[in-house]
Amino acid sequence: MSQSSPFLSNDQLIEVFNYTHTATAVHVGETAIIQTANDAMLRIWGKDRNVIGKSLEDALPELKGQPFIEMFRKVWLEGLVISGKDTAADLIIDGELKTFYFDFEYRAIKNDEGKTICILHTAVDVSERVLRREAIEREQQKDEALQREQVLNEELAATVEELAATNEELVATNEELQETQETLHVLNNELELRVAERFNQLSESEKRFKTMAEGTDIFITVGDEFGNAIYFNKPWTNLTGRSMDALLAFGWADLIHPEDRDRYLDIYLSALRDKKPFTGEFRVLTQKGDYRWLLTSGPPRFHADGSFAGYISSCIDITERKLIELERLNLNKLIEASSEFIALIGLDMSIQYLNPAGLRKLGWANITNRNMLEVIFPADRPTAEELLSGVLQGIDFKQEIRFWNEITGNPFWIEWSGFAIKDQETGQITAIATVSPDITERKLHQEELQDINIEMAAANEELAATNEELAQTHEDLIQYTQKLADSEERLLQAIDTGKMGTWSIDPKTLEITVSGFVKSLLGLPLDEPAKTSDIMSAVHADYHNELKKSFANALNTHSSSDNEYPITNLTTGEEKWIRTTGRVFVDQHGHITEYSGLFIDITEQKLDEIRKNDFIGMVSHELKTPLTAINGFVQVLQRKAKKDEDNYAIVALEKTNSQIRKMTTMINGFLNVSRLESSKLLIEKTNFNLDDLLKETIEETYISQSSHQIILHPTCGVDIYADRDKIGNVISNLISNGIKYSDNGTSIEISCNLSDTEVEVQIKDEGIGIRPEDIEKLFERYYRVQGNHTISGFGIGLYLSAEIVERHGGRIWAESEEGKGSVFHFTLPLS
């Protein structure tokens, strides 16, 4: 009888294999055909044994697109071992795709020749561990966020606590100062008695009095019966830096601060008139140039016969006390100026302090006999009682709650923050402080959103009912649509009658939409969408950059735009002038939704303006001929008057010549305006030295004006590329402007600042200055500052200067203060 084999059969091995808790499977081939898998692996896959013999992709199609099938192939072909920890895999379990996490290993099993014969696949489901760890991390992050918020709350509480402590210190300091003042008052009384006693002795020995006065730190002054000072002791001379003779000769009232002088002198003179004692506080100028606060007291003195002899006044330095009072005053002003609700509450819930903003919000006149719970809207008082009780136990709070106005009866929402104020030495709670911003608008907005949601739900119900009604009112809708079409047609007719069209640009896609009027004006096909490139080809090339800048500025700053430019009809070749106005529309979050406006035909207005400029240019040009002749005759007469030594004729002819120069300047200005607006003002650029141009312009200015000093600071030694004559006109205009609006004998200063890209020229005068409302309009054509009609001019000099500078790519602006002069700036690019 043969002995049975001790080895297990394949079925027995598989049965044993199924008992292991580690999910295990064996795969063969590049496609990872499943040769066997234990029950643990089948549970992970969510499959039964029907998957045996299938490739991994056929058995688990959800793995397609995940990296595991490619990993199997790589392990089979290269004989590798690939493993992973906490690796996510998406598997379909019970018909639902879920994400699990595994520790896995794909191990190539090789024969003696090193060839891979199968892949041993083991896996451990660690999803619970991973999810637990992620949950712990989220909790840690939440705890950290809470800790950070707690730290911020503690810092805020500490800040307010410090503020309260500072206030308490100021109160204590004030009490100390009051005690000191009382002590000083006693000291003054004693000093008065002592001085009176010593003055009685002065009749015997004046030297003894002066020795006493010179030996004290108190400021002592003696005045006669007429109020004139006759003696100052040494502390006065040390403080002011003046000798006693100087103080007696020139007086001392000029040393008193201007804000205190009249008030103190009124006190002194009133007491002198009534021969009564006086006291007062004032600031006096020291030899260091600063001011010190003095508290003075002056009892009257009398002769032996009882007649009034004057005063012996004594002063003490109270500067430190006044500074502390000012510091406390500033702190109280800061709290009182706050728009938030700031209160200090006693342990019995009585209100000890409430800032003005809080009183206004509550409609209260004062806080006398007021309790904190009276502030709270009745429905919220139970919550408030719990929060305030918690503060007494050291628990700070921050809660949205309603207060209410006692006059109107209306509630308002605040973000109520409360914390305890503790004694620094004992740590005991002494009061409760609250700082609360008003959040009514935010709460109302939230309530409005809730109301809108309710209204939308109701509207949806109404819409459902309306849909049923619409089936019965279809014919009415058709009639309404016809009326709407008629109304729209009338609107379009009105726009066409006004030679206007509409345009709109989508800020995201930059797609442009224009009306039929605009297409007709530009010569674009009416049945095709407008293209930006076609529109720009119709616009004159000189205005492309201007339109691009205007478009960018509107999108960046949400400002309106207004541009004028010529166009050429792409179909007919007809030229017209156009004005486009635009506006940016934004949503509630400030995001741009549309940039749109009107497209207006202004050809007739523009042609009228061109004809007007041509007329001004023609008249100005014709006026120059007789002026030239007059100027020649005047020069001949000047030579004759000088020869005849006719002083009257010389002066008269010089004034005539001055008026001719003014008339010539105005005519040239009109000519330049005409050329500028008809695009005939040419800019001919050359390289030149700016310093040389400034010197030449100043020399020419001196020919006609010698009543002002023109100072050139040597900081302009730079070469620039610009139109030398035009820039010279700008400089001459600005210098002449400074001379025109400045008194004789004042100075005109010219200086430059250099940067990497531009040079800035500054022309500063000491004239009458410019009002703020006029500065923005200075460079407008024909604009003249109101109130200066005695000064000649048509308001074209600054307009021309601005146009010349801007055509060079520069900037021009002015700064001024009425009565103190003006500074005009302009820049030019260096390249």
Is residue 765 very low, low, confident or very high in pLDDT (cuts 50, 70, 90)?
very high
State how far the Cα of 464 lies from the Cα of 443, in Å rounded to an integer: 32
Is pLDDT above 50 for 789?
A: no
Q: Which CATH architecture has domain 10-125?
A: 2-Layer Sandwich (3.30)
Is residue 145 very low, low, confident or very high in pLDDT (cuts 50, 70, 90)?
confident
CB 791 within 8 A of CB 740: yes
> What tokens appear for 608 in the block?
């009228």
CA nearest 670: which of 606, 736, 617, 628?
A: 617
Q: What is the mean pLDDT of residues 28-43?
A: 90
Which residues lie closer than 8 Å to 666 by C-beta, 6 or more apart? 793, 794
Is residue 279 very low, low, confident or very high in pLDDT (cuts 50, 70, 90)?
very high
- Tell me how crowded residue 632 is: count the other CB atoms within 10 A of its CB: 10
pLDDT tens, position by position, 190-211: 766 765 665 555 555 566 667 7
Which residues lie closer than 8 Å to 466 by C-beta, 6 or more apart? none
Is pLDDT above 90 for 814?
A: yes
State how far the Cα of 821 lies from the Cα of 743, in Å rounded to an integer: 10
- 583 HSE (CA, 13 A, CB side): 5
Superfamily name with CATH number, domain 339-444: PAS domain (3.30.450.20)
Strand partners, 351: 345
433-437, 548-552, 677-681: the lowest-pLDDT one? 677-681
Mean pLDDT score of the chain? 80
For 138-160, b/e burial (b = at least 16 CB within 10 A) is eeeeeeeeeeeeeeeeeeebeeb
Q: What is the mean pLDDT of residues 296-319?
A: 87
The CA-atom distances, in angstroms, between 689 and each of 511, 756, 807, 809 are 48, 17, 19, 18
Indicate the CATH number for domain 181-325.
3.30.450.20
pLDDT tens, position by position, 324-373: 777 666 666 656 666 678 888 888 889 988 888 888 888 898 888 898 88
State how far the Cα of 815 lies from the Cα of 828, in Å rounded to an integer: 18
Q: What is the mean pLDDT of residues 632-650?
A: 80
> What tokens appear for 404 in the block?
């209410």
Is pLDDT above 60 for 3?
A: no
CB 592 within 8 A of CB 558: yes
Is pLDDT above 60 for 84?
A: yes
Indicate the CATH number for domain 497-601.
3.30.450.20
3-state SS class at 343? strand
The CA-atom distances, in angstroms, between 98 and each of 63, 88, 127 are 12, 10, 11
**For the chain, how are helix, strand and coil distributed in percent, rounded to 5?**
50, 25, 25
pLDDT at position 27 is 92
- Tell me how crowded residue 423 is: count the other CB atoms within 10 A of its CB: 12
DSSP 431-495: EEEEEE-B-HHHHHHHHHHHHHHHHHHHHHHHHHHHHHHHHH-HHHHHHHHHHHHHHHHHHHHHH
pLDDT at position 750 is 93
State how far the Cα of 666 lies from the Cα of 22, in Å rounded to an integer: 104
> What tokens appear for 800 in the block?
């021309």
Pick the CATH number of 682-829 from 2.60.120.380, 3.30.565.10, 3.30.2020.30, 3.90.1150.10: 3.30.565.10
pLDDT tens, position by position, 455-478: 666 655 765 665 565 455 455 545
336-340, 351-355, 505-509, 603-607: the lowest-pLDDT one? 336-340
CB 295 within 8 A of CB 185: no
The CA-atom distances, in angstroms, between 666 and each of 627, 670, 679, 724, 800 are 12, 6, 20, 20, 12
pLDDT tens, position by position, 693-747: 998 888 876 544 457 888 888 777 889 999 888 898 889 889 888 888 888 888 9
CB 412 within 8 A of CB 403: yes
pLDDT at position 825 is 95
> What tokens appear for 790 in the block?
């005695």
**Better-scored residue on pLDDT, 324 or 159:** 324
Is residue 548 very low, low, confident or very high in pLDDT (cuts 50, 70, 90)?
confident
pLDDT tens, position by position, 515-527: 888 888 888 888 8
Is pLDDT above 60 for 618?
A: no
Q: What is the mean pLDDT of residues 57-68?
A: 89
pLDDT at position 760 is 94
